[in-house]
Structure 1
Amino acid sequence: MSDPKTMQRMMDFRMGTVRIIREKLLPALRKSYEDVLAATEGADLLVSHPLAYADRLVSEKTGIPWVSTMITPYGFFSAYDLPWFPPAPVLSKRLRFLGPTFWRPVRVLNLLATRYWAEPWYRLREEIGLPQTSELNPLVNGHSKLLHLALFSKQLGNKQLDWPRHSVITGFPTFDEDGEAELPAELTRFLNDGPPPIVFTLSVSAATVGGRFFEHSVAAAKLLGRRAGHTQLNV
Structure 2
Amino acid sequence: MARIVITTWGSFGDVNPYLALGLGLRARGHEPVLCMPPYYEPVIRQAGLAFAPGAPDADPALDPDMVRKCLHPYRGAESIFREVLIPALGEAHERLTAAVQGADLVVTHPGALAAPIVMAQQRLPWVSTVLSPLNFMSAYDPILPPMAPWLRHVPYAVHLRYADWIAGGGRQVAARWMEPVQQFRASLGLPRCKDPLFEGQHSPYAVLALYSGVFGGPYPDYPAQVTITGQLRYDAPHGDALSPELEAFLHAGDPPLVFTLGSSAVEMAGRFWEESLDALQRLGRRGVLLVGRKELPRVARLATDRALVVDAAPHSQLFPRAAAVVHPCGMGTLGTALASAVPQLAVPHANDQPDNAWRLTRLGVARTVYPPRYRGWRVATELRALLDMPSYRERAQALAAVVQREDGVGTACDVIDRVLTRGAVPAPRS
Task: Report the TM-score, using the length of structure 1 for normalisation.
Answer: 0.79
- Residue 159 of structure 1: aligned partner: 217
Closer, same or farther in 2 for the Cα pair 1:116/1:204, shift >3 Å?
same
Out of 4, 11, 18, which is 2:78 matched to? 18
In the alignment, structure 2 segments of 5+ residues that lack a partner are 1-59, 295-430
- Residue 39 of structure 2: aligned partner: none
- Residue 45 of structure 1: aligned partner: 105
Closer, same or farther in 2 for the Cα pair 1:165/1:93, shift >3 Å?
farther
Confirm or deny that 1:65 pairs with 2:86: no
Shift in Å, 1:150? 1.7
Confirm or deny that 1:148 pairs with 2:207: yes
Closer, same or farther in 2 for the Cα pair 1:200/1:55, shift >3 Å?
farther
CA RMSD of aligned residues (A): 3.5
Shift in Å, 1:190? 5.2
- Further displaced range: 113-122 or 86-95: 86-95
- Further displaced range: 57-66 or 94-103: 94-103
- Residue 21 of structure 2: aligned partner: none
From the two aligned structures, give the one with the greater helix fraction: 2
Amino acid at match of 2:117: L
Which residues in structure 2 correspond to 1:146-225 (within 5 Å)? Answer: 146-155=205-214, 157-161=215-219, 162-174=221-233, 182-189=241-248, 191=250, 200-212=259-271
1:110-149 Cα offsets, whole Å, 9 max, x none, are 212331211111111122222332x2x2223421121112
Shift in Å, 1:198? 7.0
Between the aligned partners of 1:112 and 1:186, the Cα distance in structure 2 is 51
Task: Report the TM-score, using the length of structure 2 for normalisation.
Answer: 0.46
Shift in Å, 1:46? 1.0
Confirm or deny that 1:108 pairs with 2:108: no
Report the number of matched residues: 231
1:151-204 Cα offsets, whole Å, 9 max, x none, are 22335x222413332222232335598xx9742234325556789877554332
Closer, same or farther in 2 for the Cα pair 1:116/1:151, shift >3 Å?
same
- Further displaced range: 194-203 or 32-41: 194-203
Amino acid at match of 2:131: I
> Which SS does the other structure have where 2:138 is aligned?
coil
Shift in Å, 1:21? 0.6
Shift in Å, 1:37? 0.5
Closer, same or farther in 2 for the Cα pair 1:78/1:10, shift >3 Å?
same
Between the aligned partners of 2:278 and 2:231, the Cα distance in structure 1 is 26
Closer, same or farther in 2 for the Cα pair 1:176/1:85, shift >3 Å?
closer
Closer, same or farther in 2 for the Cα pair 1:66/1:88, shift >3 Å?
same
Amino acid at match of 1:48: T
Q: In the alignment, is the contact (CA less than 8 A) between 1:85 and 1:92 conserved in 2?
A: no
> Which SS does the other structure have where 1:30 is aligned?
helix
Q: In the alignment, is the contact (CA less than 8 A) between 1:118 and 1:139 conserved in 2?
A: yes
